[in-house]
Structure 1
Amino acid sequence: MSFSLFSNKKEDLKRRIIDDLVRHTATGKRELEAYLTDTGSLADSLVQLAPTSSNRYVYPHQGARWLREYRNSTVWDEFTCRCVLALWRVFQGSGITELVHGESDMSGLAEALLELDLPFLTLLDIFSTIHDSYYQERHKVLVRNAVYKVVNKPAYLPRLCTAAQDACLYGRFVALSALDDLTALPGEEGALAKAELLACTGESSKQVQRLLLTILASHPDWAGDYADLLKSKKAAQRLMAAEVAAKLGDALRPQLEEALAVEKSAKVADAIRVALGQEAQPAGEEAPASLDELAARVLKGGKKRKLQWLLDHPLPTLHLTEGGEVSQDRRDALMVACCELGRIGRSETAAQLAQGIDQKDLAALANEVYELWLAAGAQSKTKWVLPFAAVYGGPAMTPKLNHAINEWPQNARGAIACDAVTALALSDDPAALLIVDAISRKFKFRQVKAAAGAALDNAAQELGITTEELADRIVPTLGFSADGKRTFDYGPRNFTVRLTPTLELEITNDSGKTVKNLPAPGKTDDEAKATAAYNDFKTMKKQIRTTVTSQKARLEAALSALRCWTGDSWQALFVHNPIMHQFAMSLIWGIYEDGQLQTTFRYMEDGSFNTVDEEEYQLPEGARIGLAHPVELDQETLEGWKQQLEDYEITQSIQQLDRPVFRLEPGLESCRSLERFGGKILNGLSLSGKLQGLGWYRGSVQDAGEFFTFYREDPALGLGVELNFSGAYVGDESSTVTVYNAVFYRAGTVQRGSYCYDEPKEEHIFTLGEVPTRYYSEVVYQLERATASSTETNPDWKKETR
């Protein structure tokens, strides 16, 4: 193409872009056109664009696409930068992510805007919009790093100091990261960067606090400055200093002890005790003579006022297990200690105050406080109620929190739902961690799913094990003995409950007669024993449902993705746990080497192992054990196992041997697209509901709130799959849709988020022949189930694809 033709094409694109952006504005059309065609400084951009606004939800998608075409043919020139500012200021950032594909693109835009004299804080606000448009943390990190690398220069030091105090959250994060590097500069510049970092230690944002803690802990040579911060008048700075000191070992022990002796904030005092390794004993003071004296210290300074919204209501009275009432001050101090902690966690002070209090009374108080909090609007500023309720609310609190976790995200309260998940992980109820584990595996809202995963990761890290190993450990026994039985004592009579291989409850009385259900306590029963046993049975029935549902989902995932256990870990879970013992006996297991099935076996009720030919089998040393998939079995072996289970009258706890199998058709090995379901027409709500129920997610929301893909990723396998379809609107998926194709790609290589237009790239897409046989079969099986309601096909679907 000649230069003149190329130039004419660019000018034509510019004109079309300008016309489309102007057309979509509600006010200030003339001002926007003048701004886009101007060649002056960008410093007064916001003033020039002030009269301009768009109608709500309007998105100039055609103009944005032309702008992407224009951008692909040139560098970040002034016109493109002006368009970016217009999209950000007038159209709330819509379309900007179409222009940037990776860290280098973002860095290029940042450099161009700074060269054109855009105000530093405005630059950070623009990239904050891009940052917040992404869902996944790894993409947010990319946006932070892109700008950080551009501004991490001595020339920007004064502006970084201003941004560290005055910028948006994203801007403060970037500024502090850059200032940390600039502390290495010699002389006054390095000293200025350091002083600014220390001045920000009163920061209120928890995200920025975590960053500051990491930064400051990497500078042990600043210990003298942290000692000064321990004397600050601001509690937030003293708290930060204590948390940094905790990471520096004993470097500040004398200063910490001195600070603790005069510390008035319970929250800061707790942090100092943690740094000193003295969780319970205040340094410099005599130990409280009683828990009532400890309560008085906690309430010192009028801290009870924080509970006034609760104290306006009658609260349950607490009693000691040894008899006698607990004082109201001690009860209130227990709640204040949780309130003062300032995070979703366990308060050591509260644990001290709870010692000796009747657990049922504590549970009644926690449940009542939780209900009052809900009635008051479940405000985030009093979210300390969540860990208080989880820790002390007992089994009755678990379903309440679970219900809230499911409800809140549907009402735009995803953040508080995340806090509730984190709190639920603190509960001693065996069912609580199972629910958190289930949420981490399959939940409609990614934000909450990620919070559940983080809560489990933290718990696993503390134990030094993997998350999957933690999930194995938290499977409860629910009081069943090794042989799968549990006795409920009514005094003069007993009932034995046995968990059957089909995971149902079989109840027998003293004479061995089977009864349908555990009877209510009678007149001749020991009232206390019978009532307690009856209530325990009802609780156990709820827990067994939760446990069975959760473990079925885990085993389904293990079957789909080939999770393997070592011989010891397999026996610990499936032999010694009475719940999983029942699962194990109904399933067919395989010995694997390098992901390949070597042989199969079954675990018998008497504890032995046998083969498909019913010969005794010994587990080999160093065995890797996983669930055998029917796609791996020849027909003779498959039929042999089915016959053996039928002979023993065993029903499988999950669909395994009868699972539909889908193999890749010959000749399609080199294909990069799965078109088996192409053209299927069905209701969009049906497709969405079934796929999300199977662990898939909606793809990125794009123009006008529409999305065009569903996807799932399995990081353990490094695989993802994306299904393309004709599109549906978020909030209204009831229209008829057409399914297109699906592609398998390398997990983690596609950016997801609002107005994110990324898709699997050619170099990351697998041919169908490269996809593991088991994974291919499982994905096809899920898509078969999701599209089963389709009764009509569009033969021309390929012409519709985007």
Structure 2
Amino acid sequence: MPYTEEATQPIIERLKRRYFQHANETTIVSIQLFLTGRQATAPSLLTTDELAMAGALIPLLQLPDQWNDNDRLVLQLLSEPQVWEKNEHDFLKHMVPMLDMPGSSSSIVQRFSNFTQFLQQQGYSPEKIGSMLILYSNYGDNMDLMPLKFSPLRKFLQDLLRSTDQLTIQPYLQRWYQHNWNSLFFRLLSRSHPDHEMNYLEAKLLQQLPGYLHSELANTLLQHNYSKYEPLLLQIATAAANAGSVAVRLGVHLALTNFQPETYQANLLPLFRQYLEDFTSQPPAEEGTATTLLHAADRRSYPLSVIALHGLLQQDPAAGTAYVETFIRDKRMIQEECFDLLGQQPQQQILPILLNALENGYDIKLLLPVLDQYDPAAFADQLWPYTLHKLKSVRMAVATLLARDPQAYNKAAELLQHKKAEQRLAATLILCSINTPAARTLIQEALHNEINDDARDMMLETLGNTIQYTADMETVHYLIASAASRHKLSRPLEKWLDDQSLPLLWTTDGTQLPLEATRFLLYRMSRIKEMGADVEARPLLRLLDKTRNDEFAVALFNLYEQHEGDTRLKYLLATAALTGHKQLATALQDNIADWIKHRRPRQAEHGLAALALQAGSKSLQIVEYYANKYVTRKVALGTAARTALTRAAEELGLTLHELGDKAVPDLDFDGRYKPFDMKGDTWKGFVDLNFRIAYLNRKNRRPKTPPVAAAPETKRFFKSLQKQLPDMAIAQTKRLEQFLVNQRSWTATQWLELFLQNPLMFVFANRLIWAVYDEAGQLTTTFRCTEESRLHSVSGTEIQLPEYATVRLLHPLQLDETSLQQWRQHLTVNNVIPAFNQLDRNTALLTPAQHFQTQINDFEDIVMEQEALILHLQDKGWTPAINEEGKLYAFTKTDDIQQVTATVDVLSIYHETGIQCKLGNLYFTEILQESASLSSPQPVAADRLLPFLKVAPIFWAEAIADIASARMNTTLV
């Protein structure tokens, strides 16, 4: 039965978007007619675009053991010689990893039979089939030498290579001698033809770059089995000596020294000298690299010349210094540690070398730590010209050093009069580093007199938090007068802006400010680059009464809307958010939903940022709602919501988690209770331990039935609130469970305010176990809060939180089994049901053998329907990563306390009934300041993978348990 039109429609739509030329429309229609059985003959595909269209159909293919008439239609299109030549790579890249899906024995046999039969029809020999399966399996592009853990694909390959004899193995060797190192081929070869193992290794050790040793492979072999592979490396070193190859000998001895320094380190000094002599006299066009453990903190690879230079400086500083001069003259790479070693030499000898390096364009950041050791009077005159350097990074770097020059104040004051803003900016940074009363006064005068707004913005940006304006009227009047003296307030900011029609601003002391204050606020806010408060507007903003400035804020919002959300006018929205109250918040909430509905994403993003800046509980809840809603669709909007929360936290001087605490609903209660009138008596509503509304009468007794004589509006309030409570409880439960995983801390004051005063969070204080840590981060005690707001240890002793203490959720890995059992018994005796599974979590323990591992591949047997997998892992705090074509390729989970991200790779496989996902490797990386977008999957560099020893034990254990728990939902394919 042919494909249904619905099954092909998504791919056909992508073809239309990608190949939108009118000439391609006929071909696209013909492809769909053929796939759906309405056209008997396959379309003829000839042009480059048409050949690529066939490749776009590859994702429709199922596992080979499930190939049916539909799949054969796609295979028929791909089989044409021109089409196959164009799409062979994409076909293998997509299909080969799928072959490793679990299944029954008969289905796996049928799978490889169908697949190899198809490749044979394309002219593949048995050797090419095996080699392509190895190449595209994604298992060999690493240094893994551990015994093979068999899977369907690896078992097939093992049997295939074992069936070869000494003659038929030769085509494999010929191909893989030419290819880069492949650990899967090596392990298959060593098991099926061990007599060829050493020859293959020797070829690979010397192949990466002609004339150099493959350092990473050499280190891996020695680490895996030193006694087995040491003779091979010594044999290579002997042959290299006979051939006069110093580079190979140096690479061999560096690798051997990493593991046996007492035996081999003495051989390095003459090799360092000889290598540098050859390198200086005839520098190679391309140089090999090596990983050295000579300085254990750094496991990166460096060019051999840099390693030799570093080693020579350590063992023969005088000779090493001479080579440094040569390197600097030729502008060659020098390792940072080399400059550190230079700093240990006499100043009169080294200072000219450092200044020459600066003149030759070496990174100033490498040189400054060394120059910083010396008296700047000896070289300041040579550094001052760099304040005129074209690169801002250089100007900023030398400024901090020049601040130590005895003449720094006078020279900076002179530079402050320079005609170029960049130089005035460098002078400002020098004065900021001097940080004397006179220097600060000079900075203030410069800002006061600087007419160029771009220059002032650069100064303010550079000074950052070093200028702290006091939020009082004296400061505000000073800033307004300064702006007026620069002629910034003489007319409205925009020609179309009638600022006299705007309501005047009110301060918290009941003062109404003049028009000049409005103009100043709009002028300074117009300078913002991102949604937030301008540094000079902030003192005024902090004095304003938001409850009385709603009309002003709404008027600005209406102006923004009248100009259809012009991006240049986003400052109007930011100003409105920072001055307005409930009326503006309502307008923002309503309009954001409308902007999203009518596809006005830029306005929606700005609206979310404004709502976050308001920082009210309900406003933050709305932004959080969009941040969580738009993860796999409308990704840009979800990202904008998360960014808005981050910037709002920065604006308020809070962490993102502290901002989240502000977003916790207070339910419009007065602390933990909601007082209301009941026939002249005051009753109180509260949230009980089951997240249900309960009541206390005037005698503080809890009646069995709800009050029937309360006012109708009171009844409606509590009835509406009861409907919302379950969702609120679920949201906070998920949040707190993530805090358990990443071990977020509260100060004692923060914890008492949030968990004992908020009606919702008080329930969690009762139903969870908490841990107290001292100033050194050591666990001191554990406790639970009672319904009387008392904090009790497991023994029942009441405790007080020390002022210096921090509080975290207790994780079972932090206590021994005896203590855990005591808490379990305590909860049982007191009829306390934990808010979530806290003490009996399935967690994995890191073994010593795993300390230096960087990946886990034990989850390849987990296969689930995509929707089920997303729901399962999202529930545990994982975020799906989707590429530009909407295909799931990974899940990530972040520990933003330790700045680590866990990632598990995913292989998505299309079926007529849906998409199934097979899990791949799990690994951990540090969070980068400039992280790549989730929409573009990129291979993670090996040096970014964290050894498990460097991952927080709780986060590591929870990540492993999260993924392993998916096995209960696994289905065989």
TM-score, normalisation: structure 2: 0.47
2:689 corresponds to which of 479, 487, 501: 501
Q: Any conservation in 2 of the 1:601–1:609 contact (CA below 8 Å)?
A: yes
SS at match of 2:549: helix
1:737 equivalenced with 2:917 (yes/no)? yes
Aligned to 1:297: 484
Looking at structure 2, the residues matched to 292 and 720 of structure 1 have their Cα atoms a distance apart, in angstroms, of 44
Out of 60-69 and 580-589, give the one that drifted further.
60-69
Report the CA distance between 1:104 and its aligned residue.
3.0
Alignment deviations for residues 605-648 of structure 1 (CA, whole Å, 9 cap, x no partner): 123455778x55557989886544568667965764554454xx
8 Å contact kept, 1:485–1:497: yes
Question: CA deviation digits over 1:698-746, x for unaligned, max 9?
Answer: 67989x99885444353756976442433689xxxx8432123535x58
Within-5 A mapping of 1:664-679: 677-679=859-861
Is 1:250 aligned with 2:448? no
Any conservation in 2 of the 1:495–1:509 contact (CA below 8 Å)?
A: yes
Aligned 8 A contact 1:700 1:757 in 2: no
Q: How far apart are 1:264 and its partner, in Å?
A: 4.1
Distance, in Å, in 1 between the alignment partners of 2:478 and 2:678 is: 37
Post-superposition offset of 1:369: 3.4
- Specify whether residues 363 and 212 from structure 1 end up closer, same or farther in structure 2 by C-alpha distance, changes over 3 A only: farther
For residue 325 of structure 1, report the CA deviation from its aligned partner.
Answer: 8.4
Does the aligned pair in 2 maintain the 1:751–1:758 contact within 8 Å?
no
2:673 aligned partner, one-letter code: K
What displacement does 1:393 show? 3.2
Residue in 2 that maps onto 1:363 = 550
C-alpha contact 2:503 2:551 (8 A) present in aligned 1: no
| Higher Cα radius of gyration | 2
Match of 2:523 in 1: 336
For residue 741 of structure 2, what is the amino acid of its counterpart?
A: S
Deviations 1:509-549 (A, max 9, x none): 99995479985599xxxxxxxxxx99xx9999999999867
Query: Partners in 1 of 2:399 and 2:620 — Cα distance?
Result: 29
TM superposition shift of 1:214: 5.7
Please list the CA deviations of residues 315-368 of structure 1 after superposition, one character each: whole Å capped at 9, or x if unmatched. Answer: 753465899987666434321122246676544754666698763453344355
SS in 2 for 1:607: coil
Task: Tell me by how many angstroms 1:556 deviates.
Answer: 0.9
Shift in CA distance, 222/319, structure 1 to aligned 2, threshold 3 Å: closer
Which residue number in structure 2 is paired with residue 486 of structure 1?
674
Alignment of structure 1 residues 370-519 onto 2, 5 Å: 370=557, 373=560, 381-385=568-572, 387-394=574-581, 400=588, 427=614, 429-430=616-617, 456=649, 480-481=669-670, 484-487=672-675, 496-505=684-693, 514=707
The reply to whether residue 583 of structure 1 matches residue 781 of structure 2 is no
- The letter for the 1-side match of 2:674 is R
Could you tell me which runs of 5 or more consecutive residues in structure 1 were left unpaired when the two chains were aligned.
1-24, 27-54, 82-100, 125-140, 146-151, 161-173, 523-532, 794-802
- 1:584 positional shift: 0.5
Are the equivalent residues in 2 in contact too, given 1:663–1:773 (CA < 8 A)? no
> Residues 481-534 of structure 1: CA distance to partner in whole angstroms, max 9, x if unpaired?
55x113479999988543333445557999995479985599xxxxxxxxxx99
Please tell me whether the aligned partners of residues 708 and 728 of structure 1 are also in contact (alpha carbons under 8 angstroms).
no
Q: Using a 3 Å threshold, how does the CA distance of structure 1 residues 402 and 237 change in structure 2: closer, same or farther?
A: farther
Which of the numbers 765, 785, 803 marks the counterpart of 1:603?
Answer: 785
Unaligned runs of 5+ in 2: 1-47, 50-85, 94-134, 142-177, 182-206, 213-246, 248-282, 288-298, 310-325, 341-352, 632-637
Aligned-partner Cα distance in 2 for 1:425–1:587: 30
Partner of 1:369, secondary structure, is: helix
Give the corresponding residue for 2:738: 557
Distance in 2, Cα, partners of 1:567 & 1:293: 41
For 2:581, give the aligned amino acid: G
Q: Is the 8 A contact 1:337 1:349 kept in 2?
A: yes
Q: Whole-Å Cα distance in 1 between the matches of residues 368 and 962 of structure 2?
A: 49
> Alignment partner of 1:194: what SS?
helix
Whole-Å Cα distance in 2 between the matches of residues 218 and 546 of structure 1? Answer: 59
CA distance in 1, matches of 2:643, 2:543: 37
* 1:52-109 Cα distance to aligned partner (Å, 9 max, x none): xxx9xx999999998976645666998879xxxxxxxxxxxxxxxxxxx957369989
2: CA distance, partners of 1:326 / 1:420? 29
Which secondary structure does the structure 2 equivalent of 1:297 belong to? Answer: helix
CA distance in 2, matches of 1:678, 1:353: 59
The answer to whether the Cα contact below 8 Å between 1:566 and 1:625 also exists between their aligned partners in 2 is yes
Deviations 1:391-418 (A, max 9, x none): 223356679599979x99xx99999979
Does the CA contact (< 8 Å) of 2:396 and 2:429 recur in 1? no
Task: Kindly indicate whether the alpha-carbon contact (under 8 Å) linking 1:706 and 1:728 is maintained by their aligned counterparts in 2.
Answer: no
Distance (Å, rounded) in 1 between the aligned partners of 2:639 and 2:972: 32
- TM-fit CA distance, 1:377: 6.8
In structure 1, C-alpha distance between the alignment counterparts of 2:944 and 2:480, rounded to whole Å = 69
**Counterpart position of 2:388:** 198
Matched, 1:681 2:863: yes
Helix, strand or coil for the counterpart of 1:736? strand
1:712 maps to 893
Q: Tell me how far apart the structure 1 counterparts of residues 552 and 907 of structure 2 sit (CA, whole Å).
A: 52
Instruction: Note if contact 2:747-2:807 (Cα within 8 Å) is conserved in structure 1.
Output: yes
Report the secondary structure of 1:687's partner residue: helix
3-state DSSP class of the match of 1:602? Answer: strand
Asked if the contact 1:715–1:747 (Cα under 8 Å) also holds between the matched residues in 2, the reply is no
Change (3 A) 1:469 1:301: closer
3-state SS of paired residue (1:678):
coil
**CA-to-partner distance for each residue in 1:132-171, whole Å, 9 max, x for gaps?**
xxxxxxxxx99xx9xxxxxx976776775xxxxxxxxxxx
CA distance in structure 1 between the partners assigned to 2:475 and 2:953 by the alignment: 66
In the alignment, which of 757, 767, 773 is matched to residue 939 of structure 2?
A: 757
SS of 1:712's equivalent in the other structure is strand
Task: Return the alpha-carbon distance in structure 2 between the equivalents of residues 639 and 582 of structure 1.
Answer: 18
The amino acid across from 1:682 in the alignment is M
| Selected match of 1:104 from 278, 283, 302 | 302
Contact 2:901–2:925, Cα closer than 8 Å, also in 1: yes
Indicate the residue corresponding to 1:726 in structure 2.
Answer: 907
Find the residue that maps to 1:104 and give its secondary structure.
Answer: strand
CA RMSD, Structure 1 to Structure 2 (Å): 7.2
Letter in 2 for 1:394: H
Amino acid at match of 1:726: L
Asked if residue 661 in structure 1 is aligned to residue 842 in structure 2, the reply is: yes
Using the alignment, how far apart are the partners of 2:754 and 2:469 within structure 1? 37
Deviates most, 300-309 or 207-216: 207-216
| Alpha carbons of structure 1 residues 675 and 360: separation in structure 2 relative to 1, 3 Å | same
Q: Distance in 2 between matches of 1:424 and 1:157?
A: 48
Secondary structure of the residue that 2:302 maps to in structure 1?
A: helix
Counterpart for residue 74 of structure 2: none
Question: Which structure would you say has the larger RCO, counting Cα contacts within 8 Å and 6 or more residues apart?
Answer: 1
Distance in 1 (alpha carbons) for counterparts of 2:485 and 2:727 = 39
Q: Deviations over 1:402-447 (max 9, x none)?
A: 9979x99xx99999979976x7776453567789999999996889
Partner-residue secondary structure (3-state), 1:252? helix
Amino acid at match of 2:940: D
Task: Give 1:96's aligned residue.
Answer: none
- Counterpart of 2:920 in 1: which secondary structure? strand
- Contact 1:460/1:470 (CA < 8 Å) preserved in 2? no
Q: Report the Cα distance in structure 2 between the residues aligned to 1:340 and 1:689, rounded to whole angstroms.
A: 43
**Whole-angstrom CA distance in 1 between matches of 2:713 and 2:918:** 55
Q: For residues 697 and 279 of structure 1, do their structure 2 counterparts lie closer, same or farther at Cα, with a shift above 3 Å needed?
A: same
What SS does the aligned partner of 2:789 have?
coil
Structure 2 contact 560–573 (Cα < 8 Å) conserved: no
Secondary structure of the 1:307 match is coil
**Contact persistence 2:565–2:603 (CA under 8 A):** no
- Matching residue's letter, 2:689: P
